Chain A
Amino acid sequence: DADVTQTPRNRITKTGKRIMLECSQTKGHDRMYWYRQDPGLGLRLIYYSFDVKDINKGEISDGYSVSRQAQAKFSLSLESAIPNQTALYFCATSDVTGSNQPQHFGDGTRLSIL
Chain B
Amino acid sequence: GESVGLHLPTLSVQEGDNSIINCAYSNSASDYFIWYKQESGKGPQFIIDIRSNMDKRQGQRVTVLLNKTVKHLSLQIAATQPGDSAVYFCAENMSNFNKFYFGSGTKLNVKP
Max chain B C-beta neighbours (<10 A), residue from A31, A42, A108? A42
Given A42-B103, A45-B99, A100-B95, A105-B34 contact (CB < 8 Å): no
B100 contact from A4, A37, A41, A103, Cβ within 8 A: A103
Q: Is the CB of B99 within 8 A of A48?
A: yes
Given A45-B99, A100-B51, A108-B93 contact (CB < 8 Å): no
A27 to B89 alpha-carbon distance, docked (Å):
23
Q: Mark A15-55, 1 if CB is under 8 A from B, else 0.
A: 00000000000000001000101011111110010100000
Specify which chain B residues have a CB less than 8 angstroms from the CB of A35 in the assembled complex: 102
Given A4-B43, A40-B8, A102-B103 contact (CB < 8 Å): no
Q: Mark B90-111, 1 if CB is under 8 A from A, else 0.
A: 0101010011111111000000
Shortest distance from the beta carbon of A54 to any chain B beta carbon, whole Å: 11
B4 contact from A88, A99, A100, Cβ within 8 A: A88
Q: Is the CB of B104 within 8 A of A100?
A: no
Q: Mark A49-75, 1 if CB is under 8 A from B, else 0.
A: 010000000100000000000000000
Specify which chain B residues have a CB less than 8 angstroms from the CB of A4 in the assembled complex: 43
CB of B61 within 8 Å of the partner chain: no
Shortest distance from the beta carbon of A35 to any chain B beta carbon, whole Å: 8
Interface residues on A, range: 20 to 34
Q: Is the CB of B104 within 8 A of A42?
A: yes
A31 to B102 alpha-carbon distance, docked (Å):
18
19 sampled A-B residue pairs with Cβ under 8 A? A37-B4, A39-B3, A39-B4, A42-B101, A42-B104, A43-B44, A45-B99, A50-B98, A100-B31, A100-B32, A102-B34, A102-B46, A102-B49, A103-B46, A103-B100, A105-B43, A105-B44, A105-B45, A107-B41
Interface residues of B (CB under 8 A from A): 3-4, 6-8, 31-32, 34, 36, 41-46, 49, 51, 89, 91, 93, 95, 98-105
